[in-house]
């Protein structure tokens, strides 16, 4: 189990605010390195578990098989076999809009990191490359311009945004940064869309500052 959280070396406002401004190759390089080195489990969670005298951590124990033996579940690992009453699978997750049924109508039009020029030479894993290629306000981009304009009105603030925005959507300390960045983007978009009505109001405005 990893014991060092590598990105802690640059954790702070610089990472939260600056990551989105990095060139794509730098984003890919940094997140792929984090994925390769992995993150440790939360310290407080580990300490809470090991307050129990009968808790054990079986490190470097790759699961090789499962079997029912004498009505008990037996987990086969390379070092040893373990008989257990319950088994919880911590399988993780992947970021791929094409695998989400609620996005089925728009997923074919969403631009992914794998669609970007040079993606074939990127060191990133498929999980990272399947992440949506978002804009600076978390909105989806079109795979091909004009095919699904409404995507710019849909914002993704889940872990899938990490490839574009870094730790902002997945770290507790990034919540306020994410909220501000998202609301500013939506406000900016609404103002731009309604510019003609705003301009008309400016022309019609006639409140004197002094008599």
Q: Per-residue pLDDT tens for 75-131?
A: 999 999 999 999 998 887 888 898 999 999 999 999 999 998 666 666 567 778 899
Can you give the pLDDT at residue 119? 63
Q: Give the model confidence (pLDDT) of 37-49 as tens digits.
A: 888 888 899 899 9
pLDDT at 150 over 90: yes
Is the four-CA dihedral 161, 102, 118, 121 of positive or negative sign? positive
Q: Give the list of residues 6+ apart from residue 95 with CB closer than 8 angstroms, or none.
A: 127, 128, 130, 131, 132, 158, 159, 160, 163
Taking the C-alpha atoms of residue 44 and residue 171, their distance in angstroms, rounded to an integer, is: 16
Can you give the pLDDT at residue 127? 78
39, 4 contact by CB (below 8 A): no
pLDDT at 166 over 90: yes
DSSP category for residue 9? G
As beta bridge partners, residue 83 has 74
Cα diameter, the chain: 96
pLDDT band at 143 (very low <50, low <70, confident <90, very high): very high
Taking the C-alpha atoms of residue 53 and residue 30, their distance in angstroms, rounded to an integer, is: 39
Taking the C-alpha atoms of residue 78 and residue 59, their distance in angstroms, rounded to an integer, is: 11
Cα Rg, the chain, nearest whole Å: 24
Instruction: With H, G, I as helix, E, B as strand and everything else as coil, classify residue 154.
Output: coil
Can you give the pLDDT at residue 122? 61
CA distances from 85 to 46, 53, 78, 168, 200 (A): 21, 18, 20, 39, 71
Chain-centre distance of CA 86, in angstroms?
Answer: 30
Average pLDDT over residues 145-161: 95
Average pLDDT over residues 172-182: 93
60, 79 contact by CB (below 8 A): yes
pLDDT band at 144 (very low <50, low <70, confident <90, very high): very high
Query: Mean pLDDT, the chain, as a whole number?
Result: 91
Helix 195-204 with 175-193: angle, nearest 10 deg = 70
83, 92 contact by CB (below 8 A): no
């Amino acid at each position: 189990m990893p014991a060092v959280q590598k990105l802690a070396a640059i954790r702070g406002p610089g990472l939260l605010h600056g990551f989105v401004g990095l060139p794509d190759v730098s984003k890919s390089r940094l997140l792929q390195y984090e994925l390769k080195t992995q993150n440790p489990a939360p310290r407080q969670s580990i300490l809470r578990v090991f307050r129990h005298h009968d808790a054990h951590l079986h490190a470097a124990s790759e699961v090789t098989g499962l079997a029912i033996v004498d009505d008990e579940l037996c987990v086969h690992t390379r070092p040893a076999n373990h008989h257990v009453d319950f088994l919880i699978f911590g399988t993780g997750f992947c970021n791929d809009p094409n695998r989400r049924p609620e996005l089925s109508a728009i997923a074919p039009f969403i631009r992914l990191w794998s669609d970007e020029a040079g993606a074939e030479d990127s060191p990133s894993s498929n999980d990272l490359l399947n992440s949506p290629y978002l804009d600076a306000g978390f909105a989806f981009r079109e795979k091909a311009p004009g095919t699904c304009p409404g995507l710019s009105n849909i914002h993704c603030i889940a872990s899938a945004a990490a490839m574009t925005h870094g730790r902002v959507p997945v770290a507790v300390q990034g919540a306020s940064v994410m909220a501000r960045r998202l609301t500013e983007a939506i406000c900016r978009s609404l103002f731009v869309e309604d510019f003609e009505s705003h301009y008309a109001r400016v022309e019609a405005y006639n409140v004197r500052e002094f008599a």
